[in-house]
Amino acid sequence: MTAAAASWLPLSRQERSVAIEVLVHGPLSRTDLARRLLLSPGSLTRLTKPLIESGLLVEVPEAGTTPPETRQGRPSQPLDVVADSRSFIGFKITQDRVYAVVTTLRSDIVARRERPLATHDPARVADLLAEMAAELAGAHPRPAGIGIGVGGLVEGRAVVGESPFLLWRDVPLAELVEERTGLPVVVENDVAAFVEAETWFGAGRGLDRFVVLTIGAGLGYGLVLGGRRVPCAEEDRGFGRHWILQPDGPLTPDGERGSAVSLLTIPSIRYQIRAATGHDVSYEEILAHAADGEPMSSRVVEEAARALGTLIAHIANFAMPQKILLAGEGVGLMDVAGGTVADTLRSHRHPMAAPVDLETKVSDFHDWARGAAVLAIRVLVLGNAEV
């Protein structure tokens, strides 16, 4: 671990609570911070002193106050994180490309990169990540750590137990990248990392119950209760493969007949058009054809929209979230058939049920890389907190 990252560690549980509160909600006055955390002024002073001395927190002028030299009494000095004091590198590995970002301590993206992935050999992939990290660190010095998001099962935030996209089993990815970069590395399932980023800094910020549903090459699902992501033993093994939404629906190579995967994922939608027409058409072209009223594309897209509305209704009925975030590279479906999604959603809810707060986010793979960077911030800066 680098000296820069180590200088912030270890944090006690109470120190970590203070740091997280300021990181997510700051700048905060000491009075507000003490109230939020149920701390006495003396306890708060004791906990914040080492955080300020380490450079993680800083005292800032309170907005709209009188300049210190003209003010009487003890000055008011809210606390905030030094957002640009350290940078973090986040990677998202797909089947054929690697996407990278550099973020501040508050997860603002300050640089983006992407490179083709010519091989799935673990050592060669680690070489590529190290090359990209060195390039990014040259332009944005003092990186404190690296986060990596991978589709599949990740064990101990270090080992890729299984990745169907990369055909990996038991790959010690964190160790391979640490050896090449000298930086601490955190590896996590890409959906889990994305959910963490949205919970801390995005659509789920400040919410007690929150759901993320992603559609794209696969389906992803994340549930947040009490402000914390709920881990699940099966979350990395293909959400929606056995969630049957239409028993007589399409049969595709991936997922059971009529399952959420067979109806909603981009490969399945493309497969249906190819099987019916003999032509290999991109997802964007299918959506455009459906918007123009082309019969086959319209049928497949409308069927997908009804499936999506049904799935969102099921999630809302059982998880009762305050908000559902729909994200991923497949959300263009909403632009073409959002009305069908909304109608189906309403038809599967009680007439007196409150409307579902559904937010749609057009996210690219750099957003997923940002999620990995947020995991690095949580684990490497704030300690190995439960996430």
Q: Is residue 147 part of a domain?
A: yes
Q: Is residue 114 part of a domain?
A: yes
Say how far apart CA 204 and CA 206 lie, in whole Å: 6
Q: Express each pLDDT in 273-295 by its tens digit.
A: 999 999 999 999 999 999 999 99
Say how far apart CA 132 and CA 88 lie, in whole Å: 13
Least confident of 178-187, 221-230, 277-286, 296-305: 221-230
Predicted confidence band of residue 234 (pLDDT cuts 50, 70, 90): low
Element (H, E) at 209: strand 209-215
The CATH number covering residue 118 comes to 3.30.420.40
Final residue belonging to a domain, choices 42, 62, 81: 81
Closest C-alpha to 88, from 369, 355, 377, 325: 377
Domain co-membership, 150 together with 243: no
Tell whether the model's pLDDT for residue 130 goes beyond 80.
Answer: yes
Domain co-membership, 356 together with 220: yes
Least confident of 9-18, 97-106, 249-258: 9-18
Least confident of 1-15, 54-68, 202-216, 320-334: 1-15
Q: Express each pLDDT in 133-148 by its tens digit.
A: 999 998 887 788 999 9
Parent domain of 354: 206-363
Q: Is residue 47 part of a domain?
A: yes
Q: Is residue 386 part of a domain?
A: no
Crossing angle of the two packed helices 295-319 and 283-291, in degrees rounded to 10? 100
Q: Is residue 112 part of a domain?
A: yes
Tell whether the model's pLDDT for residue 67 goes beyond 70.
Answer: no
Say how far apart CA 23 and CA 106 lie, in whole Å: 7
Closest C-alpha to 380, from 89, 21, 37, 50: 89
Say how far apart CA 274 and CA 317 lie, in whole Å: 35
Whole-number pLDDT of residue 134: 95
Whole-number pLDDT of residue 241: 85
The CATH number covering residue 74 comes to 1.10.10.10
Say how far apart CA 301 and CA 286 lie, in whole Å: 8
Measure Cα distances from 302 to 98, 268, 330, 355 in Å. 32, 14, 14, 22
Closest C-alpha to 33, from 99, 63, 77: 77
Domain co-membership, 50 together with 102: no
Give the residue-averaged pLDDT of 154-170.
92
Final residue belonging to a domain, choices 29, 51, 81: 81
Contact partners, residue 300, CB within 8 Å, separation at least 6: 269, 272, 273, 286, 290
Mean pLDDT of the chain: 88
Dihedrals phi, psi of 318, to nearest 5 degrees: -100, -40
Q: Is residue 183 part of a domain?
A: yes
Interior/surface letters 188-227, b for 16+ CB within 10 angstroms, e for the rest: bbbbbbbbbbbbbbbbbeebeebbbbbbbbbbbbbbbeee
The pLDDT > 70 percentage for the chain reads 90
Residue 163 pairs in a beta bridge with: 168
Domain co-membership, 335 together with 186: no
Q: Express each pLDDT in 285-324 by its tens digit.
A: 999 999 999 999 999 999 999 999 999 999 999 999 999 9
Domain co-membership, 241 together with 343: yes
Say how far apart CA 142 and CA 92 lie, in whole Å: 21
Tell whether the model's pLDDT for residue 181 goes beyond 60.
Answer: yes
Whole-number pLDDT of residue 142: 78
Q: Is residue 387 part of a domain?
A: no
Give the residue-averaged pLDDT of 354-383.
88
- Running DSSP on this structure, what letter comes out for residue 68? G
pTM over 0.75: yes
Q: Is residue 293 part of a domain?
A: yes
Final residue belonging to a domain, choices 20, 48, 81: 81
CA dihedral 41, 47, 52, 53 (to 10 degrees): 130
Residue 184 pairs in a beta bridge with: none
Domain co-membership, 282 together with 310: yes
Domain co-membership, 18 together with 111: no
Least confident of 70-74, 116-120, 225-229, 319-323: 70-74
Domain co-membership, 373 together with 343: no
Domain co-membership, 216 together with 251: yes
Which pair of structure tokens corresponds to residue 322?
Answer: 């305050």
Cβ atoms of residues 242 and 263 within 8 Å: no
Domain co-membership, 24 together with 37: yes
Domain co-membership, 239 together with 308: yes
Closest C-alpha to 133, from 152, 119, 147: 147
Measure Cα distances from 370 to 58, 200, 356, 366 in Å. 24, 12, 27, 6
Considering its fold, how many domains does the chain have in total? 3
Whole-number pLDDT of residue 41: 87
Cβ atoms of residues 157 and 379 within 8 Å: yes
Domain co-membership, 268 together with 337: yes
Say how far apart CA 154 and CA 32 lie, in whole Å: 38
